[in-house]
């Protein structure tokens, strides 16, 4: 059998050309606007998602790929390999990991499938997937790739601030009374991905203060291997430029990428967020 094959999901926002180059199979999540269901990255692009959010009367939701979808993916890959690493969005956010593990049991004894919870999303997951795929291309063993990724996971960080509290309330990160009070007071929650869960950490009242917090967050690291500003189209103007200017001025030794976050992350943090994803690297 050939080398380890890598499976991930659409929340990694992996460019299709790069996924093909690295031999990564991407299983899409489903984004629902009421009764209408669209596959992330296939039927629904990032730009289309944000256009729909702006005009839809209902808030979008994200649904994990089904067990059957994973079973079919694993069965096809099993024709070429007997070792698969399936690396996915945090299990605290949806059931993707759970469905992948159930599907893996169908091939027990025929194919060794390791399902890993990344405890992150978006670029954070993409960094892990790319590292795993590049190791697989060098014929690194499955056990060694799993150890590599597990070692990287604690070094991936994500923080955001958002204008709306509705999405946090819906996903029970905030109580209804907290969300209502926060909206009345104009509070912008500063969010962090902590042990795989998106949690409100602090509260700020102005965009300027929120940007200050993001810059302060970067200052906490003694080393950074990769960092990106994560924005929505509504934040792609003044706020993102201000943050980038501040970051480049304060940390001239770092290269700052800019990405637009995808539909699934948008269903958790809303359409008007700005943040950072950091991989600090390992010694």
pLDDT single digits (tens) 102-114: 999 999 999 999 9
Spatial separation of the C-alpha atoms in residues 79 and 155, rounded to whole Å: 34
CATH number of the domain within which 51 lies: 3.40.50.10170
Spatial separation of the C-alpha atoms in residues 250 and 116, rounded to whole Å: 36
Do 252 and 234 lie in one domain? The reply is yes
Local confidence band at 165 (pLDDT 50, 70, 90 cut-offs)? low
In 94-170, at which residue ranges do the beta strands (DSSP E only) sit? 112-117, 156-162
Spatial separation of the C-alpha atoms in residues 178 and 162, rounded to whole Å: 15
Do 192 and 140 lie in one domain? The reply is no
Q: How far is CA 145 from CA 18, 97, 128, 225, in A?
A: 19, 18, 10, 19
Pick from 48-62, 118-132, 204-218 the range whose average pLDDT is largest: 118-132
DSSP result, 190-237:
EEEEETTEEEEEEEESSHHHHHHHHHHHHHT-S--SEEEEEE-GGGTT
Do 166 and 267 lie in one domain? The reply is yes
Do 95 and 162 lie in one domain? The reply is no
Residue 27 has pLDDT above 60, yes or no: yes
Spatial separation of the C-alpha atoms in residues 202 and 187, rounded to whole Å: 10
Do 35 and 136 lie in one domain? The reply is yes
As for how many domains the chain has, the answer is: 2
In this prediction, residue 278 carries a pLDDT of: 97
Q: State residue 28 phi and psi, 5-degree precision.
A: -80, 145
Domain that holds residue 200: 155-279
Query: Domain boundary at 126, 153, 180, which?
Result: 153
Of 2, 41, 36, nearest to 18 (Cα)? 41
What is the mean predicted confidence (pLDDT) over 21-30?
Answer: 98
Do 63 and 41 lie in one domain? The reply is yes
Do 95 and 114 lie in one domain? The reply is yes
DSSP annotation of 234 reads G
Query: Domain boundary at 124, 153, 182, which?
Result: 153
Helix/strand/coil for 111: coil
Do 267 and 212 lie in one domain? The reply is yes
Query: Taking the CB of residue 259, how many other CB atoms lie within 10 A of it?
Result: 15
Of 219, 209, 217, 223, nearest to 193 (Cα)? 217
Do 210 and 239 lie in one domain? The reply is yes
pTM for this model (two decimals): 0.92
Helix/strand/coil for 151: helix
CATH number of the domain within which 240 lies: 3.30.1180.10
Residue that the structure tokens 């063993």 belong to = 141
Do 271 and 179 lie in one domain? The reply is yes
Do 159 and 210 lie in one domain? The reply is yes
Residue 174 has pLDDT above 60, yes or no: no
Query: Domain boundary at 127, 153, 179, which?
Result: 153
Spatial separation of the C-alpha atoms in residues 66 and 99, rounded to whole Å: 6
Do 106 and 184 lie in one domain? The reply is no
Q: What pLDDT, in 10s, does the model give residues 147-157?
A: 999 999 999 99
Helix/strand/coil for 246: helix
Strands 226-231 and 197-204, by their bridges, are: unpaired
Of all residues in the chain, the percent with pLDDT exceeding 90 is 71
């Amino acid at each position: 059998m050939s080398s380890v094959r890598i499976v991930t999901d659409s929340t990694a926002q992996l460019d299709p050309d790069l996924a093909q180059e690295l031999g990564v199979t991407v299983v899409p999540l489903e984004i629902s606007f009421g009764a209408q269901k669209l596959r992330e990255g296939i039927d629904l692009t990032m730009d289309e998602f944000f256009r729909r959010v702006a005009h839809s009367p209902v808030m979008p939701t994200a649904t994990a790929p089904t067990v059957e979808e994973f079973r079919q993916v694993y069965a096809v890959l099993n024709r070429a390999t007997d070792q698969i690493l399936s690396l996915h969005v945090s299990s605290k956010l949806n059931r993707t990991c759970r469905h992948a593990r159930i599907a893996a049991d169908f091939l027990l004894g025929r194919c060794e499938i390791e399902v890993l919870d990344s405890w992150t999303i978006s670029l954070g997951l993409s960094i892990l997937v790319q590292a795993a795929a590049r190791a697989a291309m060098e014929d690194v063993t499955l056990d060694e790739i799993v150890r590599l990724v597990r070692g990287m996971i604690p070094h991936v960080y994500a923080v955001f601030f958002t204008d709306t509290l509705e999405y946090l309330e819906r996903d029970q990160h905030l109580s209804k009374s907290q969300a209502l009070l926060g909206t009345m007071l104009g509070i912008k929650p500063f969010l962090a991905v902590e042990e795989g869960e998106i949690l409100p950490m602090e509260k700020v009242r102005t965009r300027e203060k929120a940007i200050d917090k993001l810059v302060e967050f970067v200052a906490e690291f003694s080393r950074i291997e990769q960092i990106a500003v994560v924005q929505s189209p509504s934040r792609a103007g003044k706020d993102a430029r201000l943050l980038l200017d501040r970051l480049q001025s304060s940390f001239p030794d770092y290269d700052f990428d800019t990405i637009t976050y995808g539909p699934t992350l948008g269903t958790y943090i809303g359409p008007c967020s700005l943040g950072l994803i950091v991989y600090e690297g390992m010694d």
